[in-house]
Amino acid sequence: MGLIGPMSPIRPISPIPSKKSCLLPLLPFNLIKMYSINPSKRLSIAEVGEILTKGTKLTLSDEAVRRIKRCREFLDDKIKTCDTPIYGITTGFGSLCNISIGPEDLSKLQENLVKSHACGCGELVKPEIVRIMLLTKVMSLSFGNSGVQLSTVQRLVDFFNEDVIPVVYQQGSLGASGDLAPLANMCLPLLGLGQVYYKGEIRPSAEVLAEKGWQPVTLVSKEGLALLNGTQFMSSHAVYAILQARRLSKLADKIGALSLDSYDGRIEPFGDEVNAVRPHPGQLETARAVRAHLEGSELIRQPKKHVQDPYSFRCMPQVHGAVKDTLAYVGSVIETEINSPTDNPTIFPDEDIIVSAGNFHGEPIAMPMDFLAVAMTELGSISERRIYKLISGSRGLPSFLVANPGLNSGFMIPQYAAASIVNQSKGLCWPTSCDTIPSSQGQEDHVSMGGNSATKLCRVVDNTERILAIELFNAAQALDLRRPLRTSPELEEWHAAYRRRVPFIINDTVMSPLIAESVEFIRENP
**Cis? peptide before 9, omega within 30° of 0:** no
Distance CA 282, CA 273 (A): 15
- Please confirm, yes or no, whether 87 is among the known catalytic residues: yes
Please give the Cα distance from 423 to 419 (Å, whole number): 6
Sequential DSSP letters for 32-71? --EEEE-TTSPPPHHHHHHHHHTT-EEEE-HHHHHHHHHH
Q: How many CA atoms lie within 13 A of 199 on its CB side?
A: 7
Helix (H) or strand (E) holding 347: strand 346-348
Three-class SS of residue 348? strand
* Active-site hit among 35, 87, 198, 498: 87
* Cα 288–Cα 289–Cα 293 angle in degrees, nearest 5: 120
- One-letter amino acid at 155 equals R
Percentage helix, strand, coil for the chain under 3-state DSSP, each rounded to 5: 55, 5, 35
**Distance (Å, whole) CA 376 – CA 382:** 10
Can you tell me the distance from the alpha carbon of 498 to that of 506, in angstroms, rounded to the nearest whole number? Answer: 16
DSSP string, 254-278: HHHHHHHHHTT--SGGG-HHHHHTS
> For the purposes of burial, counting CB atoms within 10 Å of the CB of 26, is it exposed (0-12), middle (13-18) or buried (19 or more)?
middle
For residue 359, what are the contacts with CB-CB under 8 A and spacing of at least 6?
Answer: 340, 341, 342, 343, 344, 346
- Which active-site residues does the annotation give? 87
